[in-house]
Amino acid sequence: MANELLTACQAIQEQLVSWRRYFHMYPELGYQEEHTGAKIAQLLSAYCDQVTACVGGHGVVGMLKGSRDGPTLALRADMDALPLQEENQAAYRSTVPGVMHACGHDAHLAILLGTARILAERRNFPGCVKFIFQPAEECLPEGGAQAMIQAGVLDCPRVEAMLALHVSAQLEYGRAAVPQRHVMAGGDVFQATIRGSGTHGATPHNGVDAVVEAAQAIMGLQTIVSRSLDATEAGVVSVCGIRSSSWSNNVLPEAVDLQGTVRFANPQRKDFFKQKIEQILAGVCQQYGGGFRLDYRYGYPPTVNNPALAAMVRGWMEPLLGKERISAPDKPAMSSEDVSRYFQQVPGCYIWLGAKTPDRATSLHNARFDIDERALALGCALMANNTLHFLQAAKERPAAELLNE
């Protein structure tokens, strides 16, 4: 079955490339994916029994029923682009100034559309497949997943498991990684205003220097991971922006604003970082006589694979890739993904698919990011193959029993 599916997906490679390049040329930011959602709904209607648009914003859900009753599996792809000016000179480069698909979501859309086509041509499977095209994945801390969950995408019929795929800029074509448990970190964001007392730059003793306070606070925040977190745990605190209430070479400002992000692998650390940031800001401001205000916003939880499902997925992928080309990393990537919100509700498995460009090495969220487009057909075959295997396995044994091993 696996080789036949790969042959079928390679036969529609030209269409997959066309879809991917179309979405790449016309990217839309999170919460603005009106055109993208409409295009997906139009294309998906050729393959699904039911298509619902404008779900949780601009999300789209397609339903494909098999030839007989059985379990329901969800497949999810993200839709939104990033606020980056593309530096590639390819014919299919972004036509929208300052907006670019630099995280591979254009490829994810093409792969999931191709999977819908392949499965629609092979309806001899039990159960139902839900194709979830989700907006606003890049919009930490809210994200689009929660809105789609609240809109009921996991119900009617109830989803018993979910698969998702992401292209990787580190893995070459023909390779994949399926983490056994920890996939990606949780991600929060924060903004802090540090207040002083403005004065002339020549007489700092007449005020409270908010710039020095901010500098001390930034250095203090870097000790949270190194001195307050267990060394065996992964964590990151990054201050990603700083600005003052005035900009002059002889004025000490009244206030300095900081903003940044927190990443953590352990779900139990949900409140730990907020408390530590508050303690450090309070200590610094007390020392210098200033004050602060902290706006800490909880974002995406860590993405965690269901171990039983991940093990099965690796086995199902072996005929297509070979066992030696599938890894099972045990360390999470420190990026965050709101697919984690679905995985909190239903068992899930996240797959990293090799798509590193052969001529250069770029990372996700880079203005020169591109993919090896051969990964499109392979990704389509992997998703279709995994879907058919899961539906058959969950037909023979209850999914709850199957995924608790």
Which residues carry out catalysis? 80, 137
SS3 at position 195: strand
Pair 209, 252: CB distance under 8 Å: yes
List of E strands, 231-338: 235-244, 251-252, 255-264, 291-300, 303-304, 326-327
**Distance separating alpha carbons of residues 133 and 118, to the nearest angstrom:** 17
- Beta strands 326-327 and 176-177: pairing type? parallel
Pair 197, 207: CB distance under 8 Å: yes
Tokens read off for 39: 């295009």
Tokens read off for 149: 């969950």
- Beta strands 348-354 and 176-177: pairing type? antiparallel
Q: What is the DSSP letter of 226?
A: I
SS3 at position 386: helix
